[in-house]
Amino acid sequence: MIENFDNLRQILENLSSVKMAAKLHDLGKIPEQILNKCGPLDEQEWKIVREHPSIGAEILEPIEPLADLVPIVQCHHERWNGSGYPAGLKGIAIPLAS
């Protein structure tokens, strides 16, 4: 329980980073024709969807003032149970701000 409060404290201390990451999280944007597709996505389209967090992180990485946002952007589609993407991270391996 105390660990959860420490995590909350960390988020509050880094709130400006979280706000900025929220604005930039889809920087490696998915093409509109895929986002707006009515039917199911094919394998290549899913590959593009799964890669967009990594593309966004790669764009931000060389920008020194935004370096702390890279893990947040990289992991914003990861899920606690490991079913997310791009890396299939689980639990505490996922940055809390993501």
Asked, for residue 79, whether it belongs to a domain, the answer is yes
Q: So which residues are the catalytic ones?
A: 29
pLDDT at 8: 77
Give the CATH number, domain containing residue 71: 1.10.3210.10
pLDDT at 5: 72
pLDDT at 3: 66
Q: How many domains does the chain have?
A: 1
pLDDT at 16: 82
Give pLDDT < 50 ranges for the chain. none
| Spatial separation of the C-alpha atoms in residues 53 and 73, rounded to whole Å | 6
- pTM of structure: 0.79
Q: What is the residue range of 7's domain?
A: 2-93
pLDDT at 46: 96
**CB under 8 Å to 24, separation ≥6 — which residues?**
56, 60, 66, 69, 73
**CB under 8 Å to 72, separation ≥6 — which residues?**
17, 18, 21, 25, 95, 97, 98
Segment 31-54, tens digit of pLDDT:
999 999 999 999 999 999 999 999
